[in-house]
Structure 1
Amino acid sequence: MNIRVFDTPHDAGIYVAALAEQVIQSRPDPVLGLATGSTPIPFYDALVGLHRCGLDLSHVTTINLDEYIGLPPTHEQSYAHFMHTHLFSRTNIRSENIHIPNGMADDLAAECARYDDVIRAHPIHLQILGIGVNGHIGFNEPDDLLLSKTHVVELRPETVRSNARFFERIEDVPRRAITMGVQAILQADQIVLMAFGPEKADIIARAVLGEVRTDVPASILQLHKRVTVVLDRASAQGLFDEAGRLRAK
């Protein structure tokens, strides 16, 4: 893993946007795997800034990691709405190139199969990830077994509590979601894992320096050949000793 530590999330977002620009400009049909939540917002802001400076995104395909079940795309807390607000409405990414799971599908199993078909048709060149306080990536929650394909997941209580800050009441937080599986994540050519804040320090240390374990889903990224972990100083504090050296695994 490559580890990059920045003074602020803003600086980190600029760096990740530069990585994305390299992919976008080097391929005729670049595919970005995208995440939601507060962590990637500095990246989206920086990517929008590059677009305003001339970066063409009209040939980019996007594939989002997940979506809540039961929230329509127009709901202000749906991930479709999040992506429209923070990226799609601010750039020239074409609507036909945007892919997000349908959390309102009548047949969720069929929707999961459809989404796997989308991923197979558009192999991901750069996958952006956040990490939950329990180590989840996408909504692949800690479990005895991590599922490889797109699937319906029951959100863990700690995930519901963490996401409650976006809702008026914790009772309003959906308890289920559709998420991309770990196989699709690991098949991306390049992965960027982003984390900010002291509340992420412990899980980042476990994911980067600990054993590969299904109860720390992000630790599976250790098996990928090209991962960059992008942090601020608060989230990186568990990785280094007093001399500034990366701690041994």
Structure 2
Amino acid sequence: MRISLTERPLPLPLIAASRAEMGSRAAEEIASELRHRLQKQESVRMIFAAAPSQSEMLAALIEAPGIDWTRVTAFHMDEYLGLSPGAPQRFGLWLRRAIFDHLPFAAVELLDPGDDPEASAAAYAAKLAAAPIDIVCCGIGANGHLAFNDPPADLNDPADVKVVELDRACRQQQVDDRCFERIEDVPTHALTLTIPRLLNSSRIFCCVPGALKKTAVRRTLRDPISGQVPATALRTHANWSLYLDRDSASELSAG
């Protein structure tokens, strides 16, 4: 799947006074998009990121009124290899706790590596390709990654879902986010949706709070579009929104 790397007009980021306000404002706009789409189409298909950066938004989205979740199918964008099925750090379980178990989704399609991650990747890619993806809710990694596409990432990756090796900065972020106690505990490999697969969606909402992400935010908005900062690819999408708090936006005032 190839995407156009033509840069589009940059949307003005919403900079909130706090993480809670950021999450609330993002959820309000995501909910509005859901209501609008459900008025004109039979169903909606969404992809969710699993990360502490999404917690405030997801908590607020659960409470949003007027959404027929029985017509919404949920996917998620990445999953570790090598964790036990019940490991609390598994992204599918994290999303169940954060949102999936709280709402009556039409379906929740979990990305489960199983015993054959390559086969699981192909099967999940087929599910994603069965119909258009309407909405992606994502974050940006401290190293500029999208999902688990660490730099240098292929912005025109021919795959939709694949096995990747996680770089040290990505793994350290999982410790900094208090998902793991030590970097040695963080898996070295994962399944991830690729950047073209994520960008092949109608609408993207990106929540990026916290001081740990301030440099990644600045580079996402100001560096040349390239796989060295994978999140710069968001600037090629026709309809994306960026939500920050004061900490994550703190390097934008310079230069």
| TM-score, L = length of structure 2 | 0.87
**Structure 1 residues 7-62: Cα deviation after superposition (integer angstroms, max 9, x where no partner):** 11111111221222123222221111100111000111001112xx5533111111
Corresponding position of 1:244 = none
**Matched residue SS, 2:95:** helix
| Correspondence list, 1:1-249, <5 A | 1-2=10-11, 3-26=13-36, 27=38, 28-50=42-64, 53=65, 55-94=67-106, 97-103=107-113, 105-143=114-152, 145-146=154-155, 147-148=157-158, 149-164=160-175, 165-241=178-254
| TM-score, L = length of structure 1 | 0.89
Q: Say which structure, 1 or 2, has more relative contact order (CA 8 Å, 6+ apart).
A: 2
| Aligned Cα root-mean-square deviation (Å) | 1.6
CA change 1:40–1:117 in 2 (3 A) is same
How far apart, CA to CA, are the structure 1 residues paired with 2:210 and 2:71?
34
Residue segments in structure 2 that go unaligned for 5+ positions in a row: 1-9
Query: Which shifted more, 155-164 or 141-150?
Result: 141-150
How far apart, CA to CA, are the structure 1 residues paired with 2:191 and 2:135?
21
Query: Which shifted more, 161-170 or 212-221?
Result: 161-170
Is the 8 Å Cα contact of residues 136 and 142 (structure 1) preserved in structure 2?
yes
CA change 1:72–1:124 in 2 (3 A) is farther
How far apart, CA to CA, are the structure 2 residues paired with 1:9 and 1:163?
19
Percentage of pairs with the same residue = 28
**Matched residue SS, 1:58:** helix
CA change 1:30–1:23 in 2 (3 A) is farther
How far apart, CA to CA, are the structure 2 residues paired with 1:154 and 1:181?
13
How far apart, CA to CA, are the structure 2 residues paired with 1:72 and 1:80?
12
How far apart, CA to CA, are the structure 1 residues paired with 2:236 and 2:69?
30
Residue segments in structure 1 that go unaligned for 5+ positions in a row: 242-246
